[in-house]
Amino acid sequence: MSIETIDAEDVEVEEVLGSAIKRREDPSLITGRAEYTDDIQRPNMAHMAVTRSQYGHATIESIDTSEAEAMDGVIAVYTAEDFDVPGELPVGWLLDSLRTPAHPILASERVRYQGDAVAVVVADDRYVAQEAANAVDVDYDRLDAVTDPDEALEDDAPVLHEEEGDNVALDWELGDAEKTDAAFEDAATVVEADLHNQYLIPNAMEPRATVAEYNAGSGDLEVNMTSQNPHLHRLLMSGVIDHPEHKLHIRAPDVGGGFGSKIHHYADEALTALCARELERPVKWVATRTETYETDALGRGHVTHAKMALDEDGNITGFDVDTKASLGAYLSTFAPAVPTYLYGTLLSGQYDIPAIHVAVEGAFTNVPPVDAYRGAGRPEASYVVERMMTLAAREIDEDPAEFRRKNFVGADDFPYQTEVAVEYDSGDYEKTLDEALDALDYDELRERQEELRDEDRYIGVGLSAYIEACGLAPSELAGQLGAQAGLWESSLVRMQSSGTVTAYCGTSGHGQGHGTTYAQIIADELGVPYDDVEIVEGDTDEVPQGMGTYGSRSAAVGGSSLATSAGKIVEKARQIAAHQFEADEEDVEFENGEFHLAGAPDESVTIQEIAGQAYLAHDIPDDMEPGLEATSFYDPENFTFPFGLHACVVEVDPESGEIDIERYVAVDDVGNQINPKIVEGQVHGGVAQGLGQALYEGAQYDDNGTLLTGSMQDYVVPKAEHIPEIETRSTVTPCPHNPLGVKGVGEAGTIAAPQALVNAVTDALQPFGVDDIEMPLTPERVWRAVEENGGGN
Ligand code: MCN
């Protein structure tokens, strides 16, 4: 059922957009020719390693670097006092209630999570550097720690940032509390639940890494790093290490996945750059897998109490959500946006809910900073909405599919203004539900479920009607909400005089196949062969400006910017063609790469020929500048709201707690698809991560803040054998406000999958009265849930 790929040379220009062309980036990736940061070698390069706290919370009494300094091969050892720079990591999203305690790149008085950096060592050799980092003698006085956001907000909790008085990082609400209270007063049914969304470790295949070189002659500092947004990193790092932005060059070589973890500005990359500048020598730092587990920003970490009000006909009349969200020990770059605007605004789900109120308290806790991880806020919202929809349907004894259908925003109701600030652009939710029910053969499935129960076999069906917001956002609106950056995207498209094209885009792909899909967009807009288009990303020296890749924004915002730049080229080329035809511009038509006069298609000139003329500049219109290139800054009008219906069918063994996934059906609507194969791949990857959360993953800390799941042996990520065949289908409801009609797909699967699985397992266990099991649904937890309900006896 998987989509067949096509070789680019077999695709006509007019069909290039929307074709499942093979990803052009794969041959180099799968034959070992890719260049990752750790592959970079420089003459005289030194290596940096970091001394990190092994305590979750402690004061630093003293730091003795003498033993490390005396080791053979050690070049320098630095602590906080050695760097005369601002040295504090900034927060890129501010809220009125937000507290912003200092986030130093090296701790000097107190450590607040296991992995907090205290010193760095630079040595000739990576292993010597690590050994010396271990030899830095830090005298700690251990403090009580707290890792759970609910507990961190209690009066007697140990306080992380004493100057703040308590652990409240932010206090935020959205929606109409009074109206929502009134809905509950009048409700025929009220459904309540406590829902947890555990800490996740992003686990990109390639650990974070940096190679920095400083040219003392020119003052240029060149930093190769694992980045999802080099231009943003340039801006942030220039402040942290006090280096002029125009003298800082950030490049992301091939990046082995990020899932959000490589958006943020961490201490380590800034420290590597500082060491290179201090020592005037290239310096490399590569995180060990242990450091990845201890220091990459975590995802999720929510504890929620939710209430849903229904009238006597089963219509939702109110939704009240109270969430305690962990922000970790310090605020990471975009952390404040994640449990607030990326979460609360999605709590209407696919439903017409007349009253919603959400209150979020953010807590400082003794775990690494918590920030965006694939989905960022939207999986947490979708989990709450879709778990509650399932619980409510059970409460009033309605079929979960029909209960959802009854409450959907109707296909004719778009644009739809929710009660939580956002306006959905377009959608047709019944269509994806119907596709999924058809794929499942739903009625037959329910009959089989009944029959099997008589044989003591327990199958369950879980539905997840998810919505997400991507392509963030109109810059002005984002600014009003607290963003400290614009959220446009920029591109430069240049047609060379021979007619080949180089397109530079400010996004920075790291596995999503932008080289392929962007070339499809350009080839389509300009009517040139796909193979004649080269895409450049991820380099502040080559790409004029950019905001990067996250929030599934690249197709909707970056792609739209590319289409806009290419459109400008066509317009300039049209003027040159009109000049050649001695005709008015309005009479010149452009089709499949050729200009001709209206009604005279046989006499045409190709855009490549025009490019030659544009650079020769011997005969172009008066007052026209030579050359054929265009830049644009595309600022979206709105978010775009992809949606879909994921359904999971499981069989659960109540005696062992084991879950067998029989089927996983994913129906997604991401608007027009640039490349259906890449869309399918993104859904597969996302679902794998979502099922990983539901079944296996979860960072666990003990009472001291010590990470108990600090390796791949203890923190289970799903392997191919754990993932069922994912049956994908799609519907197409174009985005009405961007030139390509596209919505994002990069996070859809991760947002949809966890609750599809949990809903399925609890559906299977209805005969045992099991309504909720905390993720991950390990066999032990499933078995305990059955036992706690009397084991069915
Ligand atoms: N696409 C398409 N048609 C659409 C929408 C998208 O063909 N209607 C294509 C795009 O052109 C792009 C890909 O699908 O090639 C993903 O596009 P988009 O949804 O715009 O997402 P981004 O490219 O902005 O990628 C970010 C997104 C996020 S936020 C995370 S997290 C994530 C993800 O992508 N991390 C990934 N997918 C990942 N895939 C890999 N391999 N590695 C990661 O770290």
Cβ 728 vs Cβ 352: under 8 Å? no
Establish whether residue 373 lines the binding site of ligand 1, counting it when its CB lies within 6 angstroms of any ligand atom: no
Strand partners, 302: 197, 325
User: Span 506-521, mean pLDDT?
Assistant: 98
Task: Dump pLDDT digits (tens) for 280-306.
Answer: 999 999 999 999 999 999 999 999 999
Nearest-CA residue for ligand 1 atom 43 is 257
Cα–Cα distance, 764 to 440 (Å, whole number): 16
pLDDT tier for residue 792 given thresholds of 50, 70 and 90: low
pLDDT at 483 over 80: yes
Q: What is the pLDDT of residue 1?
A: 58
Nearest 5°: phi and psi at 265?
-95, 115
User: Span 145-163, mean pLDDT?
Assistant: 98
Q: What is the pLDDT of residue 791?
A: 74
Task: Dump pLDDT digits (tens) for 629-648.
Answer: 999 999 999 999 999 999 99
765-789 burial, b at 16+ Cβ within 10 Å, e below that, comes to beebebbebebbbbeeebbebbbeb
Q: What percent of the chain has pLDDT over 90?
A: 97
To test the pocket of ligand 1, the residue of 23, 512, 675 to mutate (highest count of ligand atoms within 8 Å of its CB) is 512
Establish whether residue 744 lines the binding site of ligand 1, counting it when its CB lies within 6 angstroms of any ligand atom: yes
Cβ 122 vs Cβ 47: under 8 Å? yes
Instruction: Using the mean position of ligand 1's atoms as its centre, give its distance from the Cα of residue 527 in Å.
Output: 24
Nearest-CA residue for ligand 1 atom 13 is 512
Q: Give the distance, in angstroms, between the CA of residue 166 and the centroid of all CA atoms in the same chain.
A: 30
Q: What is the pLDDT of residue 312?
A: 98
pLDDT tier for residue 472 given thresholds of 50, 70 and 90: confident
Establish whether residue 682 lines the binding site of ligand 1, counting it when its CB lies within 6 angstroms of any ligand atom: yes
Q: What is the pLDDT of residue 473?
A: 72
pLDDT at 169 over 70: yes
pLDDT at 224 over 90: yes
Cα–Cα distance, 436 to 448 (Å, whole number): 17
Contacts of 305 (CB under 8 A, 6+ apart): 192, 193, 194, 195, 321, 322, 323
pLDDT at 790 over 80: no
Establish whether residue 679 lines the binding site of ligand 1, counting it when its CB lies within 6 angstroms of any ligand atom: yes
User: Span 237-266, mean pLDDT?
Assistant: 97
Q: What is the pLDDT of residue 524?
A: 98
Nearest 5°: phi and psi at 283?
-130, 135
User: Span 592-602, mean pLDDT?
Assistant: 93
Q: 209: which 2 tokens?
A: 């890494």
Which atom in ligand 1 lies closest to the alpha carbon of residue 740? 8
Which atom in ligand 1 lies closest to the alpha carbon of residue 744? 19
pLDDT at 676 over 90: yes
How is the beta sheet containing 117-123 ordered, strand by strand?
Answer: 74-79, 117-123, 46-52, 283-286, 209-215, 220-225, 248-251
Q: Could you write out the DSSP letters of every residue in 465-520? A: EEE--BS---HHHHHHHTBSS---EEEEEEE-TTS-EEEEES---SSS-HHHHHHH
Which atom in ligand 1 lies closest to the alpha carbon of residue 509? 23
User: Span 489-510, mean pLDDT?
Assistant: 98
Establish whether residue 554 lines the binding site of ligand 1, counting it when its CB lies within 6 angstroms of any ligand atom: yes
Q: Could you write out the DSSP letters of every residue in 259-297? A: TTTTTS--HHHHHHHHHHHHHTS-EEEE--HHHHHHHSP
Q: What is the pLDDT of residue 190?
A: 98
Which atom in ligand 1 lies closest to the alpha carbon of residue 259? 31
Task: Dump pLDDT digits (tens) for 118-146.
Answer: 999 999 999 999 999 999 999 999 999 99
Instruction: Using the mean position of ligand 1's atoms as its centre, give its distance from the Cα of residue 486 in Å.
Output: 20
pLDDT at 793 over 70: no
Q: What is the pLDDT of residue 601?
A: 87
Cα–Cα distance, 367 to 301 (Å, whole number): 10
Q: Rounded mean pLDDT of the chain?
A: 97
* CA neighbor of 507 nearest in space, from 471, 475, 479, 532: 471
What 9-12 contacts at long range (C-beta under 8 Å, 24+ apart), as own/partner pairs, is 9/531, 11/530
Strands 220-225 and 356-364: unpaired
The single residue listed with the structure tokens 């929710």 is 418
Q: 525: which 2 tokens?
A: 């807009």
Instruction: Using the mean position of ligand 1's atoms as its centre, give its distance from the Cα of residue 746 in Å.
Output: 4
Q: 461: which 2 tokens?
A: 């069906």
Nearest-CA residue for ligand 1 atom 5 is 744
Q: 542: which 2 tokens?
A: 């080559």
